[in-house]
Every structure is written in structure tokens, then in C-alpha cells.
Amino acid sequence: MTNVQIKKKVGEAWAFLENPVYEKGALVSANLLYFNTDKAKVMEQFSKYRKGHFAMYFFGTVDAEQIYIL
């Protein structure tokens, strides 16, 4: 799925992605495995998979006044 297709399906939520593809630091496409507005529930999905390339991505609106630590 493309980034736009995933965003349309997920809305304002966290997503668990398989095989994400990035270009110039931006997500281009991935396989959507799971999504939920509760970040903890999405993080639980990582324990179900042993091998592969996975990512967790937030498709919601980012608060410009909030500090994020990566």
C-alpha cells in the first residue's frame, strides 16, 4: 500500500507496518499489518513477529508545541 492509501485507511492512529520503504526520509509504502489509536496495543504486535523489517508509524496530526524524543 502507498503512504496515501495507508493514511486513508488508518486515519488518526498508530500503525504497525511490514517492509516499509522510505525515500529521502519519508515513508513511501508498506504492508499494513495492524492499526489502533492506542499506541500500547500497536506495540504489542511486535512480539508476534520474529523475523522481518517492521516499523511503527503515527498517521495522526502532530502537535507543534509538543517535544518528541526519538
Render pLDDT for 23-51 as a digit per residue (tens, 0 to 9).
Answer: 998 999 999 999 999 999 999 999 998 89
DSSP 17-63: EEEEEEETTEEEEEEEEEEES-HHHHHHGGGG--SS-EEEEE-SPPP
Hey, what amino acid is at 50?
R
Q: What is the pTM for the complete model shown?
A: 0.83
Instruction: Look at residue 6 and give its three-state secondary structure.
Output: helix
Q: Taking 90 as the threshold, does the pLDDT of residue 69 lie above it?
A: no
Report the share of the chain in percent with pLDDT over 70.
99
Q: Which three cell numbers stand for residue 28?
A: 513511501
Rounded Cα gap, residues 47 and 25, in angstroms? 26
Residue found by looking up cell 504492508 in the block: 31
